[in-house]
Amino acid sequence: MASTVDTHSPAHASTASLLGRLLKESMRGYMRWFMAALVCMAVMAGATALSAWLMEPVVNDIFVNRDESMLMPVGLAVFAVFIIKGLANFGQATLMAYVGLRIVTDYQNRLFDKLSRMDVTFFQNSNTGGLISRFLVDINQMRGAVSNAWTSLGKDLMTLIGLIGVTFYQDWQLALISFFIFPLALLPIVKLGRRMRKVTANTQREMGLFTTLLEQTIQGIRVVKAYSMEAYERARVAEIVERIFKLTMKAERTRALSSPIMETLGGVAVGIVIFYGGYRVIHGNTASGSFFSFITALLLAYEPMKRLANLNAAMQQ
């Protein structure tokens, strides 16, 4: 195989271009399923935002005003919201799983069809383990890209938009202060994605070599036994397995780095909200229900925001 690397290959593409190519090449035949999943994601996002907004009547009408007549309608509304959210989540998960599995099936058929048309020279010059890895590893990672990346972009992004809308509805000044902090995470998140892309490419190459080594050893086990080469083969396997271990640990550390970044920024945002929002409530500038609805929406927005931050690193795999 050629030693040069194409800088325009998927391994060097941005997350946006990877998602665009995935949508164009893989999901075109399943757009109605994908659109149905998006509808379910939109319903789920709306239900999540509504659950945050419902904290306002819960606090103001029930706990502050002690209005007994509101117990039944508010309680039923909360129950209905969570039922709808659960059904919508089931729908989008099932639909996206179907799309992901169909794409894996299509790509495996297309890849084998292309391989069967290649001449003998291609197979002589190609790494057998690398070719097998394309079928078993790379294509299944593509399924993960469909199921996780597009689900994250659909469900998490729409949920985040809905929850941000609730925060601005309740207190736009406090919302501006809170969400000004999170864009500061973009630069380190992008750098982590680039590092992940490099580590993943090296890991895939080592996995291909490992598969080839196993295949050669198993097929040539008579020769290994005849010449007492067991120790030599064990050393070869141990060396490549150790390299894979180090690369995998590096990938895990890189992926985990996004968590402390988001946790720190989230802590700063919530701390500011509690200090400034509590001050406004104490002085009567904001109703207690509005504040609790705001902070509920902010806390609920944290998880989809963190998943979107991890999306860049996940896509580069």
Range of the domain at 72: 10-315
- Whether residue 137 is contained in a domain is answered as yes
What's the pLDDT at 255?
78
Q: Is residue 10 pLDDT above 70, yes or no?
A: no
Residue, of 125 and 316, whose pLDDT is higher: 125
Where residue 277 sits, what CATH number does that domain have? 1.20.1560.10
Interval 149-172 mean pLDDT: 89
Amino acid at 273: V
- Whether residue 244 is contained in a domain is answered as yes
H-type alpha helices, 117-229: 120-125, 128-133, 139-144, 151, 157-170, 172-179, 186-219, 221-226
Domain count, the chain: 1
Interval 65-71 mean pLDDT: 90
List the single range of 43-57, 104-118, 139-153, 275-289 with lowest mean pLDDT: 139-153
Q: Is residue 5 pLDDT above 60, yes or no?
A: no
Residue pLDDT, tens place only, 206-222: 888 888 888 888 888 88
- Whether residue 2 is contained in a domain is answered as no
At 312, the pLDDT band (50, 70, 90 cuts) reads: low
- Whether residue 3 is contained in a domain is answered as no
What's the pLDDT at 224?
85
Q: Could you tell me which of 60, 54, 42 has the C-alpha nearest to residue 78?
A: 54
Residue pLDDT, tens place only, 29-51: 888 998 999 999 999 999 999 99
Alpha-carbon distance values, 63 to 48, 49, 71 (Å): 22, 21, 10
Contacts 24+ apart (CB under 8 A), 83-86: 84/43, 84/47, 85/43, 85/44, 85/47, 85/48, 85/51
Interval 114-129 mean pLDDT: 81
Q: pTM for the full model?
A: 0.71
- Whether residue 4 is contained in a domain is answered as no
Report helix, strand or coil for 210: helix
Six token digits for residue 53: 């907004």
Q: Could you tell me which of 166, 160, 126, 205 has the C-alpha nearest to residue 291?
A: 166
Alpha-carbon distance values, 10 to 150, 161, 237, 315 (Å): 17, 29, 29, 10
Q: Where are the beta strands (DSSP E) in 20-76?
A: none
At 254, the pLDDT band (50, 70, 90 cuts) reads: confident
What's the pLDDT at 194?
75
Q: How many Cβ atoms are within 10 Å of 232's Cβ, its own excluded?
A: 11
- Whether residue 231 is contained in a domain is answered as yes
At 166, the pLDDT band (50, 70, 90 cuts) reads: very high
At 145, the pLDDT band (50, 70, 90 cuts) reads: low
Interval 262-283 mean pLDDT: 84
What's the pLDDT at 16?
64
- Whether residue 269 is contained in a domain is answered as yes
Cα within 13 Å of Cα(95), Cβ side: 23
At 99, the pLDDT band (50, 70, 90 cuts) reads: confident
Interval 278-301 mean pLDDT: 89
CB 159 within 8 A of CB 45: yes
